[in-house]
Amino acid sequence: MRIIVLIKHVPDTWEERVLDPATGRLDRSASERVVDEITERALEAALALKDSDKSIEVVALTMGPGESTGAIKKALSMGADSGIHLVDDALAGADAMTTAATIAAALRDAGADLIIAGNESTDGRGGMLPAMLAEHLGLPALTFISDLVVEGGRVRGERATETATSVVSAALPAVVSITEGMPEPRFPSFKGIMGAKKKPVASHSLADLGLAADATPRAASVVLSCEPRPGRTGAEPIVDDGSAGQRLADYLAQQRLV
Amino acid sequence: MTAALVHIELTADGAPTDAAAELLGAATVLGEPVAVITVAPGSDTAALVAALGRAGAARVVVAEAAEVGSVIATPQVSALAAAIDREQPSVVLLAHSVDGRDVAGRLAVRVGGALAWDAVGVTRDGDRVVAAHSVFGGAYATTSTIEGGLPIVTVRPGAIDARAAAVEAPAVERLTVEVSGAAATIESSTPVRPSGRPELRTAKVVVAGGRGLGSPEKFALVEQLADALGGAVGASRAAVDAGYIDHAAQVGQTGTTVAPDLYIALGISGAIQHKAGMQTAKTIVAINTDASAPIFEVADFGVVGDVFTVVPQLLDALQSRRSA
Ligand SMILES: Cc1cc2nc3c(=O)[nH]c(=O)nc-3n(C[C@H](O)[C@H](O)[C@H](O)COP(=O)(O)OP(=O)(O)OC[C@H]3O[C@@H](n4cnc5c(N)ncnc54)[C@H](O)[C@@H]3O)c2cc1C
């Protein structure tokens, strides 16, 4: 079985993340890039399956600029067998439609039995790419699932929406997106880090994927404006001297909040 | 006026979710609000249509599809694609919910539209639909539009205040939809039971607890204060990870974004990822034993103190205020 895990390099959520006001795009120089934790969990899900069946091959795929090779290296050092990097200058600032079309083109002939992604990235927060890929590829999608079992050629998981919690399943091949309910990712071992250097990484441009730079989807999302909003400043906190509960009640009443 | 199609999600009881009124309210400024519901063939939709009329639907497209409820997203996608074909709308609005996102993503690929997601406002500027977004926990306000295709916009629940005027008897058009596309099967489903509390995403008051609460039993204090204030219960990721409460209560970067009138953080340190989900609240109150906790940087009223002494006193004070 071949599992392709979609990983994403994102600005570190521990730092202040900065948009370029002129373009509304990420200011790449402003913050450190890390592998989005939810995509590390997606990789963990694949590696956990591989732990119990060594014949499973795990491939880490990312789309991003040159520096995103760092994300693939991390995935390889955690235990992925190989990497695929989709990289092309024409993809700078790609919207969801272009991203989905590009990744779908790379997946189309990649022979994946299972494609695992995070449910939503910490920078884009769209949470739609897995469904879009499934639509492009004509595959079922088990989205936002918080556990994952592969058995008898089917994948199954629990999916919580705002209105119901369901058990959902599909025959392989399928697209899956996982939530934070899935286990935390493992750390790369020393052996993993050393071994990662020898693992193959394929790099594909749009032309390699048979997509001309102008053959990306016609409809596109365009940023019109981008304004930073003033940060918040807190008031000096009071130290409880035995009356803080009372004082808080008074404050809430004054503010007409109770 | 061209149609602004609104995808209506239904609860397990077959009623529209709270998002319906917000989406129809948003749709009125964009075009003629036309609700699309996807139901099993032969369903009685009279009550549903009346409810959508009250929420402002000028017309209702009732799409009948055999697989509704037994597969994820494709019946609704096929219904919307058919409705788009017929109505030639200028925009499609959906809730930025779990199901709404699946439907929107597939629909955009299927009909060659493009996406604007998690909008906190929508307006029309000439021919263009403009979506407003709140990015990185409210650190940026951005606007976007769609060029070259049908705008498919998901709207953040609770963000739209506008409501459409009620429509007495909306015209109903029925469609029979052939569902296409491979889909995951829904094997079994348990409806979310109503908690009796307001919904986290749209509540006016949120009381959230963190790791400082110490145990699932002691987390009850958070619920007690929430109930005293008529608010929703929230939590930090650490509290969710520790099993004090369900993930649905998580506020923050990877949880729910809330913007209530009042947010009370109990035993929450205020990590940047937590703040990303609550720092646009109108008033923030924090109680924490650690004077250097970052939550105080955003709190309008901070108490350096123990939640287990401060909150009971607060509850008593609220109680005596009420009985006074
Ligand atoms: C990619 C990513 C996404 C994340 N997403 C989220 C998210 O969506 N939401 C989120 O919350 N976090 C998120 N986090 C985690 C975040 O970094 C913090 O770990 C988390 O918010 C900490 O939760 P906490 O404040 O409850 O716990 P802690 O940081 O452990 O804080 C507990 C606090 O309780 C106080 N305390 C202890 N006892 C008492 C008492 N008796 N009375 C009063 N105060 C007391 C302590 O002083 C301390 O400040 C994310 C992290 C990453 C990397």
- Residue A120: what pLDDT? 97
The single-letter code of the amino acid at B131 is A
According to the CATH classification, is domain A2-215 in 3.40.50.300? Answer: no
User: Contact, B79 vs B111, CB < 8 A?
Assistant: no
What proportion of chain A, given as a percentage, has pLDDT over 70?
99
Nearest residue, CB atoms, A220 vs list B17, B148, B276: B148
**DSSP 3-state assignment of B41?**
coil
- Which of B265, B270, B141, B300 has the alpha carbon at shortest distance from A232? B300
User: Is B26 in contact with B56 (CB distance < 8 Å)?
Assistant: no
Sequence ranges of the domains in chain B: 3-176, 200-323
Which position has the token pair 């036309």? B34
Segment 145-174 of chain B within 8 Å of chain A by CB: 145-150, 157
- B109 and chain A in contact, CB less than 8 A: yes
Overall average pLDDT of the A187-195 stretch: 96
Tell me the mean pLDDT in the region A40-63.
98
From chain B residues 288-307, the ones with a CB under 8 A of any chain A CB are: 291, 296-306
Instruction: Count contacts between A and B (CB, < 8 Å).
Output: 290
pLDDT on residue A5: 98
pLDDT at A36: 98
Sites in chain B below the pLDDT cut of 70? none
pLDDT at A126 over 90: yes
Nearest residue on chain B to A164, alpha-carbon basis? B191
- Looking at the complex, report in whole angstroms how far the Cα of residue B34 sits from the nearest Cα belonging to chain A: 23
CB-nearest to B146 from A131, A221, A258 is A221
The second-level CATH assignment, the architecture, of B200-323 is 3-Layer(aba) Sandwich (3.40)
Over the stretch A129-179, which tens digit does the pLDDT of each residue have? 999 999 999 999 999 999 999 999 999 999 999 999 999 999 999 999 999
Which residue from B148, B250, B253 is facing A122, i.e. has the nearest CB? B253
Report whether A48 contacts B307 (CB < 8 A). Answer: no
* B279 pocket-lining for ligand 1 (C-beta < 6 Å): no
Q: What is the CA radius of gyration of chain B?
A: 22
Mean of per-residue pLDDT scores for chain A: 95
pLDDT for residue A23: 87
Report whether the peptide linkage leading into residue A173 is cis, meaning its omega lies within 30 degrees of zero.
Answer: yes
In this prediction, residue B195 carries a pLDDT of: 85
- pLDDT, residue B193, reads 86
Residues A185, A191, A197: CA angle, nearest 5 degrees? 95
B180 touching chain A per CB within 8 A: no
pLDDT of residue B287: 98
Query: Measured between beta carbons, which residues in chain B are less than 8 angstroms from residue A97?
Result: 108-109, 114-115
- The class that CATH gives domain B3-176 is alpha beta
pLDDT of residue B322: 87
Amino acid at A185: P
Nearest to A158 by CA among B16, B190, B239, B17: B190
Nearest residue of B to residue A15 by CA position? Answer: B272
Q: Which residue in B has a C-alpha nearest to residue A248's C-alpha?
A: B314
User: What is the domain partition of chain A in residue ranges?
Assistant: 2-215
Residue A215 has a pLDDT of 66
Confidence band for A216, pLDDT divided at 50, 70 and 90: low
pLDDT in tens, A240-256: 999 999 999 999 999 99
DSSP 8-state code for residue B9 = P
| Chain B residues touching residue A221 (CB < 8 angstroms) | 114-116, 144-146
Q: How confident is the model at residue A124, as a pLDDT?
A: 92
pLDDT tens-digit map of B234-272? 999 999 999 999 999 999 999 999 999 999 999 999 999
Q: What is the pLDDT of residues A66-123, one digit of tens each?
A: 999 999 999 999 999 999 999 999 999 899 999 999 999 999 989 999 999 999 999 9
Tell me if domain B3-176 and domain B200-323 are identical in fold.
yes
Give pLDDT, residue B149.
95
pLDDT at A25 over 90: no
* Tokens (6 digits) for B39: 């139901």
